[in-house]
Amino acid sequence: MTVTVSPTVKPASTTSKPASTTAKPASSSVQPASSVTKRSVVPSTTVVPVIKKAGLAYNWEFNQNWSPWTSTAGSKVSWGYSWDAHPMLNFPTSKLNFVPMLHGNAADKIQWFVSQIPNFPSWGVTHLLSFNEPDMPGSAGGSDITPAQAAIDHQRVFNSTVSSKYKIGAPAVARGSKAWLQQWVTACNGKCKYDFIPIHFYGQTPQELYDYVTEMHTAFGKPLWITEFAAMDFSTGYSATATQAQAFQNAVLPFLESSTMVERYSWFGLFDNWK
């Protein structure tokens, strides 16, 4: 997967939209395996941390200062993911639950993911994420897979190797791609192992998020993970200021914490050069 140096905000519409308005830079996605292997991870005990809803979506440009979430009394953050199968960046797996991702279905991505499976128990892994935005092109940070092919590859990797050991997510689609996920479910024909539905949300108002969560939960009937969300809408040119983003968070977090439809959530994203 091609990555760039500086991740930027993912363009996204508040309605069903073409790829041009939902594009997320590939830099916010996975790091090539050759580089990831050079990253270190704090060895985990076999004790799984107590898992709460709030998590961290981080990439390799984060400064590795995990103490605000591991040493702050009352922190609600208990897990994280890196758009990769490897924790990297000294992620403290003994204190935060790491969730590996199979970002795409290219042969090297599948090989890399499978090669990391033996490490999952020592990292305290309990859940796995499937393909990232298969409804979107690679230039937008997606994995660009048809629903039919994604059903085949999801079964090939998850059903045969890890289905009895971990909870597994469906592919995470961009906002406006409910139809893609419905087509994937149909193509699976009851054979794909998945326990929860990861979704992405980018919009301007809290009500849009509430409505989208309800829509997706009603459509698929499984717990939701909101693995990317932020207060921005590039279809209209809206990008929240820091004050507006904080107000958005203050409004939606009580809903996310209390809603029985939402199992986990993570703000987009934890990058040092995020603007």
197 pLDDT more than 60? yes
Task: With beta carbons less than 8 A apart as the criterion, state whether 51 and 79 touch.
Answer: yes
pLDDT per residue as tens digits for the range 242-260: 999 999 999 999 999 999 9
Average pLDDT over residues 73-88: 93
pLDDT of residue 163: 73
pLDDT of residue 19: 36
Q: What is the pTM of this model?
A: 0.82
Q: Report which of residues 211 and 70 the model is more confident about.
A: 211
More confident residue, 76 or 235: 76
The mean per-residue pLDDT over the stretch 105-130 comes to 96
pLDDT at 31: 40
Residue 124 has pLDDT above 60, yes or no: yes
pLDDT at 61 over 70: yes
**Which of the two residues, 220 and 30, has the higher pLDDT score?**
220
Q: What is the mean pLDDT of residues 230-234?
A: 86
Going from the N-terminus, what domains does the chain have, and what CATH number goes with each?
19-270 (3.20.20.80)
Spatial contact of 85 and 113, defined as CB atoms under 8 Å apart: yes
Averaged confidence pLDDT in the chain: 84
d(CA 45, CA 124): 7
Residue 266's pLDDT is: 97
Mean pLDDT check: name the lowest of 91-100, 134-143, 259-268.
134-143
Evaluate if residue 4 carries a pLDDT over 60: no
For the chain, the residue count is 275
List the structure tokens of 67.
């103490």
Residue 114 CB neighbour total at 10 angstroms: 14
Taking the C-alpha atoms of residue 34 and residue 78, their distance in angstroms, rounded to an integer, is 28
Per-residue pLDDT at 80 exceeds 80: yes
Q: For the stretch 198-236, what's the b/e string if a residue is b when 16 or more beta carbons lie within 10 angstroms of its beta carbon?
A: bbbbbbbebebbbebbeebbeebebbbbbbbbbbbbbbe
pLDDT in tens, 159-192: 877 878 899 999 999 999 999 999 999 999 999 9
Q: Taking 60 as the threshold, does the pLDDT of residue 8 lie above it?
A: no
Is the pLDDT assigned to residue 123 strictly greater than 70? Answer: yes
Query: What is the radius of gyration, based on Cα positions, of the chain?
Result: 17
Share of the chain above pLDDT 70, in %: 80
Of the two residues 103 and 90, the one the predictor is more confident about is: 103
Q: What is the pLDDT of residue 47?
A: 55
Residue 136: which of 217, 212, 220, 29 has the closest Cα? 29
> CA angle, corner 230, sides to 179 and 18, nearest 5?
35
